[in-house]
Structure formats: C-alpha cells, structure tokens
Structure 1
Amino acid sequence: MRFIIDVLLTGLAIFLAALILPDSAVSIAGFGWAILAGLIIGFVNATIGTVLRFFTFPLNLLTLGLISFIITVLMVQLTSYFMGSKFDVANFWWAAVFAIIVALIELLLNSIFGSKDRD
C-alpha cells in the first residue's frame, strides 16, 4: 500500500513541478503521464543511475555528491527522451531546476503525508 502512495505522491510532485515551470521548459500531458514519468525516472535511476554512481564514486566523493545530482538530472532527461511529447524537458538546465523543485515538493508532501520509512 505504501508503494502506491509513494508513486502517487511522486506523480503529484512531478505534475506540480511541471505546472510551476514554464511550458517551454517542462511540459507534461497530464497527471497519469506524471505518474508514469515518476515510475520511469525511478526505474532508470535504480538501474542505469546506480551503475553510473558506482563508476563515479571516487569523483562523487571529491565533489561532495554533485556528480550524483548530475546523474539524476541526466536520468530526468533520459526519461524525457523515452516519453517523447508526453513529458518533455527542454535542456539540461531546466532538468536541473525541475529535479530540485520535485525534490522540494516531495519533501513537503512526505512531511504532510508521513515518512517513507513507515509501513
């Protein structure tokens, strides 16, 4: 049950972030597509992102986690590429702003609806 709530909250965060940013920067076709985008971002982050983080671990330590953030932004762009016009991010910089806004909205939503650590 918690997984479904987390997916819905992530979809809501993605949808709200797309509404906050200009349409020329980030566009999403609807809430259902935002949920799908959240699932795809999570999947590519867990697979490709994990492999990239493993190989860049020493550099990640030197940059205090900046490389990990850059990998997350690249995973957002990869998701945008996979989804085509249903979820579109204009460029790397808008993807970075989008990732920051999504993280802040998820932080707010998780504080309202409970921690992800609870069952």
Structure 2
Amino acid sequence: MLTHFIVTWLVTAVSLLILSKLPLGIEIDDFGTALVSALVLGLLNAFVRPVLAFFTFPITVLTLGLFTFVLNAIIFWLAAALVDGFRLRGGWLAALIGPIALGLLNGLLLALIR
C-alpha cells in the first residue's frame, strides 16, 4: 500500500517534469518542486476536490459531466498557486489542458512500470 503511494507520487512528479518541457504553459523549476507539486496535487484531489464536486454536482449533471474538467483545472491552478516554482503561464488553457495531459502521461508511465 505504501509502496503504491510512493510509486504514484514519484511517477506524478516525473510526469510534471516532462510536461514542463512541453509547450503547454506549465513551468516547474526542479525535481524537488515537482515532488512538492505532486504531493500538493494529491492532497488537493483527496480533500478539496470532493467538497467542490459535492457543491457543484447540479452543474456537473446539467453539463453531462463536462464540468469535471473545470474542477480539475481549478485544482491544478490551486496547486500552482500554492507551490513556489510551479507556474501556469498559459492561464486557464494551461490549467485545463494540464490535468488531462498529466492523467494521460501518468497512466502511460504507470502501465510501463507494472
């Protein structure tokens, strides 16, 4: 259980570093910042996202689930606002594309190591 958490944390940090090298508007200073950013993203997804999802449930139903992309962008933007060295230069577009790219890259990397 703990090893799964640590592996996912490290893969997320590596994914964030890879994404910072692509022209998506995501900037991360170094691997230490990527580790902190991955941890903050995980904590925000565990504690803040469920509260936001609860309060925005009617909007999510009305948009047939598409509002979850906005929730993901809010969490990603909030993580960038909380961590020094993690910046979004593309505004909301970077916050909207970032979690999608992060999820795809995380899934690919985790599939490769298992």
| TM-score between both structures, scaled by the size of structure 2 | 0.88
- Aligned equivalents of 2:17 and 2:26: distance in 1? 10
- 1:81 is aligned to 81
Please tell me the residue identity of whatever aligns with 1:80: A
- 1:38 is aligned to 38
Number of equivalent positions: 111
Please tell me the residue identity of whatever aligns with 1:87: F
- Aligned equivalents of 2:64 and 2:110: distance in 1? 25
For the Cα contact (< 8 Å) 2:36–2:83, is it kept in 1?
A: no
- 2:16 is aligned to 14
Secondary structure of residue in 1 paired with 2:83: helix
> How far apart are 1:61 and its partner, in Å?
2.3
Secondary structure of residue in 1 paired with 2:71: helix
Q: Please identify runs of 4+ aligned residues in structure 1 that moved more than 2 A.
A: none
Aligned-residue sequence identity (percent) comes to 29
Give the unaligned 5+ runs of structure 2. Answer: none
Give the unaligned 5+ runs of structure 1. Answer: 115-119
- Aligned equivalents of 2:65 and 2:48: distance in 1? 17
CA RMSD of aligned residues (A): 1.4
| TM-score between both structures, scaled by the size of structure 1 | 0.85
